[in-house]
Structure 1
């Protein structure tokens, strides 16, 4: 594959997971430091303020931690923490591994893990540090993070595939599945990792790789070609592909092989946000496509979430936000008060408010009636 082709793929995926160089490890005690807190003028609405001079970028991921703080990862401006009153911006000056961050989770220990372009960064409430000491891992551009039920950390890195860390051993999960769809890391870039209520781990690919499901022994690969591949493990955990089960006809197959995001609803259905064919739902037996309207086909669905009321929310690239109540779609855009129509992340907080992270570091909160802006918006 030539470098020009790789650069195009790299640019496409950077719309969601911006990639850059790595930084060295720095540990900083932030317990008594508030110099990076962005305090609003009395009476003003607190806002995310850019400090790194990045001309364009996204709010890539959102998290509410156990203490109720909201966290926002960005492509170029580090991470922001919002305590309900003011935003605090953490960058490499505070010990963050890199200012380009793609994903953020809180694990059972209470630590915050942040996927960056310089590997995984850990925040323990006081210090930022590398999650792995290896210099080679510090060069990984992280695209997704998951802690499973038993405490394993799963992560994907740009052109590196999927890794699993059990607290002691780190392994490249897909190397033992020797098949072109899985072995070609440059072609099959992983966009999201989730675990469903049954314990299955799902992996989605942004670059025509489709979706994989791993149940602990069997890896099933779904593609929009009416076929899917099944890989099995023997008693020694060696992977093999049976000639009798390699190709299995699936009349109701996933509609797109370019998946941006996944979520599981309360009924156990898996929903997929696709680049070209709206959203798709898998009920354990078949795939059903929704919303193949011109808006979805033109812009693509970038992120997906089910709220506490069971409503599915979709963020699109340039089409704003859509809600789906099981019957109809409703659109919200800048006309309704959304800060930017290119939505990259969605979070529902403990009070039921929805937060939408957008391009140009836009951030909007929706209380069900009104959108409120929490960022300094500058058009690209």
Structure 2
């Protein structure tokens, strides 16, 4: 394979370099031919969130030291934003592109920010109605209303009035990491203590006792990070000590299946679970999943699912898993975020940068 082009971007407030390094798997695969290229954002920086903005034809990259906007036409940087530009905090955990073209950024201990198409920034703190300074998820309903997941419940922002409504007691746990909305308008929340669904009137919750998360086949120690613990523990280095743990009620990611199969939930140690409205089906490493900690889920236009795990990324076509790891060009095996672009390629956020998989069908 020829070496891919090199790209360097210096971030204004950290001299953070985005470098493209050409790599490709030398392994024989049954997957379609693919090339992986990686873009560095700094060895100690995390990429925790990615979002495709079709209106701007760009990819938003949320890192622990700021936000990048990448022009998808040539995969070249368009903008760089830090606190100096209007971002609430440089550590960006969530990005959501709203129907009105505003881009929402959820930060670690800094509240939320919006960036509109005119280039104006607005910051939201608890004093404005935001449930908490730690913001981890966004979803938008058909009316343009925003659902926001925080470490102290969930907000709904009315699209007409801009008023914030906060929900805490309705949720099975107030630490909300993932939100998605299905075709019926039901809102699904992934929390540190299980799953909650709101149908517009009532609230229903599920835990491992109901079928969420695979069984602990490896007899791993249960995670000590349950309930309301210290906020400082969430530094993303969840497996830094080398000891994997198990907590199937801890839900990192939520994705409504666009083929009608149900709703997917990525757990801590329990793999990924699918709820079809009646029963639960879970997939773990025993079934071919790359890792049992599932940070991110995305679905492609063909209905295939992508899972970002603690041991690489998996693609599931409904029958089998194909996995990609460091040997295939990933900068790091902990994959925290996934974005799928209209050209059919996939972007993965990891510690150190972003890896781009060019998927080519035979």
Query: TM-score, normalized by length of structure 2?
Result: 0.72
CA distance in 2, matches of 1:227, 1:313: 21
Structure with bigger strand share is 2
| Residue in 2 that maps onto 1:97 | 88
Does the 8 Å contact 1:195/1:201 carry over to 2? yes
Does the 8 Å contact 2:283/2:289 carry over to 1? no
- Give CA deviations for 1:189-222 in whole Å, capped at 9, x if unaligned: 11111101111000001x3x11001101110000
| Aligned-residue offset at 1:48 | 5.2
Alignment partner of 1:293 is 2:283 = no
CA distance in 1, matches of 2:295, 2:58: 24
| Residue in 2 that maps onto 1:52 | 14
Runs of 4+ in 1 over 4 A off after TM superposition: 47-51, 135-139, 294-299
Of 214, 218, 221, which aligns to 2:205? 221
| Residue in 2 that maps onto 1:38 | none
List alignment gaps of at least 5 residues for structure 2. 16-41, 213-246
CA distance in 1, matches of 2:198, 2:129: 27
Distance change (3 Å), C-alpha of 1:121 and 1:227:
same
Of 325, 329, 349, which aligns to 1:357? 349
- Give CA deviations for 1:58-104 in whole Å, capped at 9, x if unaligned: 211111211211111112x1110011342122111222121111111
List alignment gaps of at least 5 residues for structure 1. 1-42, 229-254, 371-380
Alignment partner of 1:142 is 2:120 = no
Of 68, 81, 85, which aligns to 1:80? 68
CA distance in 1, matches of 2:289, 2:314: 10
Alignment partner of 1:106 is 2:97 = yes
| Residue in 2 that maps onto 1:157 | 150
- Give CA deviations for 1:22-65 in whole Å, capped at 9, x if unaligned: xxxxxxxxxxxxxxxxxxxxx94334555527762321111121
| Residue in 1 that maps onto 2:322 | 330
Of 176, 182, 204, which aligns to 1:196? 182
| Aligned-residue offset at 1:164 | 1.4
CA distance in 2, matches of 1:203, 1:73: 21
Larger Rg computed on CA atoms: 1
| Residue in 1 that maps onto 2:218 | none
Query: TM-score, normalized by length of structure 1?
Result: 0.69
| Residue in 1 that maps onto 2:49 | 61
- Give CA deviations for 1:117-155 in whole Å, capped at 9, x if unaligned: 321111113122214693674961111112211222211
SS in 2 for 1:257: strand
CA distance in 2, matches of 1:322, 1:261: 15
- Give CA deviations for 1:235-269 in whole Å, capped at 9, x if unaligned: xxxxxxxxxxxxxxxxxxxx921111011222222
Higher relative CO (Cα under 8 Å, sequence separation at least 6) belongs to 2
- Give CA deviations for 1:294-337 in whole Å, capped at 9, x if unaligned: 986965121111111221111111x1111111111111111112
Q: How many residues align?
A: 288
SS in 2 for 1:63: strand
RMSD: 2.7
| Aligned-residue offset at 1:281 | 0.8
Distance change (3 Å), C-alpha of 1:297 and 1:259:
farther
CA distance in 2, matches of 1:143, 1:210: 16
